[in-house]
Amino acid sequence: MGALTYCGHTRQQQQTKMRTKTLLIAAAAIAAIVTSSAQNVYSQNVVGYVNAVYPANGFTMIANPLNTTNNTVVSLIQNPRLGMIVYKFAAGFQANSFNGSTWNTPSASLNPGEGAFLFVPAGAPYTNTYVGEVLQGSLTNAVPQGFAMLGSKVPQTGLVQTDLAFPATLGMIVHKFAAGFQASSYNRATWNPSQPTINVGEGFFSFQPSAQTWVRTFTVQ
């Protein structure tokens, strides 16, 4: 669905293999070195971009894989097309539609960790370029009881529990969407029919019997 490039000013780092054939993370770190009288202090920030391709003439579930100073639909959806709509879910759907020149207001948030539906009108597949910072360290995402639209806080493709550390609880269901919902349930330590893979820039629906906290530790090496 998307490919991530980390853009560094001072040095290039090794490429990291992604779990799907079409996704590749090419990593590079931005290291700023500040010298004091006592010691050298190192700080690191990693920025980059993701090209995520979404099909036309229908709905797909999206997620913002990079953090910016303005995580809103208006800011994040680049070169929108007439008739595009983004739906956020929070006790009901909130719609942002594009009329050819502007989005309707208020602009919904789309922070890393949140998911949304994107409707793309008929035509060629739509490519959105997300530009921002890779979140690192210990990351938490509140997963409410019931249904919620979610996404990975980090730009990584992987199995939702094994690789992305999503909290798997008895009775939980993860719903992916591709021309219809594809449900994977977790019961007695097994996934039925199988553990789903979440791609970079892809959102999903979660159903949790009780509120959970999605904790993930991530560092760009």
Query: How many Å apart are CA 172 and CA 43, to the nearest integer?
Result: 39
pLDDT of residue 1: 66
pTM for this one?
0.78
Ordered per-residue pLDDT tens for the chain, 221 residues: 655 544 443 333 333 333 323 222 333 332 222 222 233 333 468 999 999 999 999 999 999 999 999 999 999 999 999 999 999 987 678 899 999 999 998 889 999 999 999 999 999 999 999 999 999 999 999 999 999 999 999 999 999 999 999 999 999 999 999 878 999 999 988 999 999 999 999 999 999 999 999 999 999 87
Q: How far is CA 5 from CA 15, 27, 71, 114, 163, in A?
A: 9, 6, 19, 21, 20
Query: How many Å apart are CA 29 and CA 44, to the nearest integer?
Result: 7
In the chain, domain spans: 2-48, 51-127, 135-218
135-218 is a CATH 2.60.120 domain: yes
Give kind and range of the element (H or E) at residue 142: strand 137-143
pLDDT of residue 81: 95
Residue closest to 137 by CA, chosen among 215, 25, 42, 214 = 215
- Degrees to nearest 5, angle at CA 34 with 33 and 36: 140
pLDDT of residue 121: 95
